[in-house]
């Protein structure tokens, strides 16, 4: 494995309308302590805003926290927008309340990791280190 | 309306360029030189505004408010938001975008969060280089916002054409205002949150304190959240920055050279610390086995002045 010369950059986004960002903040802080550069964008961002932010920040990972149930529409749209913008090597992962039954479809759409309640920060960090692009 | 992929291509190129110059070396230097050449060819003279101040003073909100007014006036505006990396983990939590509205389909705006990484200073090593790239990408007005050490933070003064110090309603008693440090090099001091109690009093205290010195900075009272005084502040910024010409770009290269030197020294210090060479040398000096003179050269490869 090639040694990274710079920290992995992760955009933590809250797409959609739910107003609960405690989980996202805990993850942002936890990943910072794991050595990641975390860009936190705040609540209620549109998919277009998240894509533009991911491009401008040149992130390796976009992590979405969704508690509203809108994951089935928002996440595939996010992945396709990123790809259309040339950022196809950006890893997209999701956390929040995502029913088991919805997972295969999301994975099919290009969501690389889905983390439900109870996932530890260390598990997320390990997954990102193993799967984020190298540079 | 979906974001136009073509529009994002230019922003993506700039974003990747900034990542590239975060890794110092010949490739980074080439990029910086190409950017300087492009700016010179197009006779670009971007105005670079440094914003600094204590945490919570409202630097991000003020940069965003100024950017909105400038963009409404047709200028292409970028914000570089610098936050500290953790000394422990090397990670960073970059949260300035929370206070900056996203404009995904506007190519006249660009925002980038930058971590200080190994710099151990409140300005990232890459700040000057990033500014040079952003200028070459056609942005006229560039805000560089840096974590407020509040005092003794002169890296940003070296880089910026105009240095704006942001104070909150609680900040700036008269004695603080007289102290040496960032206020000495400030071009403008903005007391933010004029909509809150105490802002006028803070403004008056600062005016009293600053008036005692020669070359006192401009002092303004603003509110980023309600938008009070923002156009006036932008006009003051333009006044202070007027007539800089190519001098601004020369200043950026100076800042980059100093940052590169500091980066080199910081790396040597980290290495000497990690390897134990620093402690070993200190032990030898304490035991009288090694002289103090020559130690800096031996440890960090920096030549000492003969008079030192």
Question: Is A3 contained in some domain?
Answer: no
Instruction: Name the pLDDT band for A131 (thresholds 50, 70, 90).
Output: very high
Q: Which residue among A29, A36, A39 places its CB closest to the CB of B97? A: A39
Q: What is the pLDDT of residues B235-277, one digit of tens each?
A: 999 999 998 888 999 999 999 998 888 888 888 888 999 999 9
Query: In chain B, which residues have their Cβ closer than 8 Å to the Cβ of A34?
Result: 89, 91
Average pLDDT over residues A45-74: 87
Question: Is A4 contained in some domain?
Answer: no
Residue-level pLDDT at A3 = 47
Question: Is B255 contained in some domain?
Answer: no
Residue B102 Cα, gap to closest chain A Cα (Å): 6
Q: In what order do the strands lie in the sheet with B162-167?
A: B109-115, B77-83, B141-146, B47-53, B162-167, B188-191, B218-221
Q: Is B22 on the interface with A (CB under 8 A)?
A: yes
Q: What is the pLDDT of residues B166-195, one digit of tens each?
A: 988 876 555 565 455 677 788 999 999 988
CA torsion sign for A78, A79, A83, A86 is positive
Q: What is the pLDDT of residues A67-92, one digit of tens each?
A: 666 777 788 899 999 999 888 899 99
Work out how many domains chain A is built from and give that number. 1
Residue B74, exposed/middle/buried by CB under 10 A (0-12, 13-18, 19+)?
exposed
Scan for tokens 């200080």, then name that residue.
B116
Q: Is B277 on the interface with A (CB under 8 A)?
A: no
Residue-level pLDDT at B308 = 46
Instruction: Name the pLDDT band for A42 (thresholds 50, 70, 90).
Output: confident
Structural domain span for residue B18: 5-246
Distance CA B65, CA B62 (A): 5
Could you tell me the CATH number of the domain that includes residue A81? 3.40.50.280
Measured between alpha carbons, how far is residue A119 from residues A102, A108, A129, B91, B239 in Å?
A: 18, 22, 16, 20, 54
Query: In chain B, which residues have their Cβ closer than 8 Å to the Cβ of A57?
Result: 15, 112-113
Could you tell me the CATH number of the domain that includes residue B25? 3.40.50.300
Is residue B125 within a helix (H) or strand (E), and if so which, with residue range?
none
Tokens of B282: 């200190």
Q: Which residue among B12, B105, B115 places its CB closest to the CB of A37? A: B115
Residue B106 Cα, gap to closest chain A Cα (Å): 10
What are the backbone dihedrals phi and psi of residue A28, each rounded to the nearest 5 degrees, phi first?
Answer: -60, -45
Cβ distance B14 to B110 under 8 Å?
Answer: yes
Question: Is B177 contained in some domain?
Answer: yes
DSSP state of B113: E
Instruction: Name the pLDDT band for B87 (thresholds 50, 70, 90).
Output: confident
Structural domain span for residue A84: 9-131
Work out how many domains chain B is built from and give that number. 1
Residue B153 Cα, gap to closest chain A Cα (Å): 23
Question: Is B160 contained in some domain?
Answer: yes
């Amino acid at each position: 494995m090639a040694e990274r010369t710079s920290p992995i950059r992760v955009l933590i986004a809250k797409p959609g309308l739910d107003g609960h960002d405690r989980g996202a903040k805990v993850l942002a802080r936890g990943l910072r302590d794991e050595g990641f550069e975390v860009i936190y964008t705040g609540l209620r961002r549109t998919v277009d805003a998240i894509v533009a932010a991911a491009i401008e920040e040149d992130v390796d990972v976009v992590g979405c926290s969704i508690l509203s149930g809108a994951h089935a529409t928002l996440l595939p749209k996010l992945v396709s927008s990123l790809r259309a913008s040339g950022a196809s090597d950006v890893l997209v992962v999701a956390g929040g309340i995502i029913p088991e039954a919805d997972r295969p479809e999301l994975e099919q759409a290009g969501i690389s990791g889905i983390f439900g309640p109870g996932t530890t920060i260390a598990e997320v960090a390990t997954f990102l280190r193993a799967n984020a692009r190298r540079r | 309306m979906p974001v136009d992929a073509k529009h994002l291509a230019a922003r993506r190129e700039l974003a990747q360029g900034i990542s590239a110059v975060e890794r110092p070396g010949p490739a980074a230097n080439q990029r910086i030189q190409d950017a300087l050449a492009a700016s010179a060819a197009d006779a670009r003279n971007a105005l670079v505004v440094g914003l600094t101040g204590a945490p919570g003073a409202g630097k991000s909100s003020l940069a965003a408010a100024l950017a909105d007014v400038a963009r409404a006036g047709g200028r292409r505006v970028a914000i570089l938001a610098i936050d500290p990396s953790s000394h422990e983990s090397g990670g960073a939590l970059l949260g300035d975008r929370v206070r900056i509205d996203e404009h995904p389909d506007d190519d006249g705006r660009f925002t980038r969060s930058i971590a200080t990484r190994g710099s151990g200073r409140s300005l990232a090593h890459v700040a000057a280089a990033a500014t040079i790239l952003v200028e070459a990408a056609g942005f006229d007005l560039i805000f560089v916002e840096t974590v407020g050490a509040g005092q003794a933070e002169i890296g940003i003064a070296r880089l910026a054409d105009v240095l704006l110090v942001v104070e909150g309603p609680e900040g700036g008693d008269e004695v603080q205002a007289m102290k040496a440090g960032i206020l000495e090099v400030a071009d403008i001091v903005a007391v933010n949150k004029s909509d809150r109690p105490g802002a006028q009093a803070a403004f008056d205290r600062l005016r009293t304190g600053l008036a005692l010195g020669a070359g006192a900075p401009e002092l303004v009272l603003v509110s980023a959240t309600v938008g009070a005084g923002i156009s006036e502040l932008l006009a003051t910024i333009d006044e202070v920055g007027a007539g800089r010409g190519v001098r601004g770009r020369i200043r950026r290269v100076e800042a980059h050279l100093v940052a590169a030197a500091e980066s080199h020294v910081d790396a040597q210090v980290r290495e000497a610390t990690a390897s134990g060479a620093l402690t070993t040398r200190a032990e030898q000096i304490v035991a009288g086995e090694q002289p103090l003179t020559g130690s800096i050269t031996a440890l960090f490869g920096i030549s000492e002045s003969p008079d030192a």
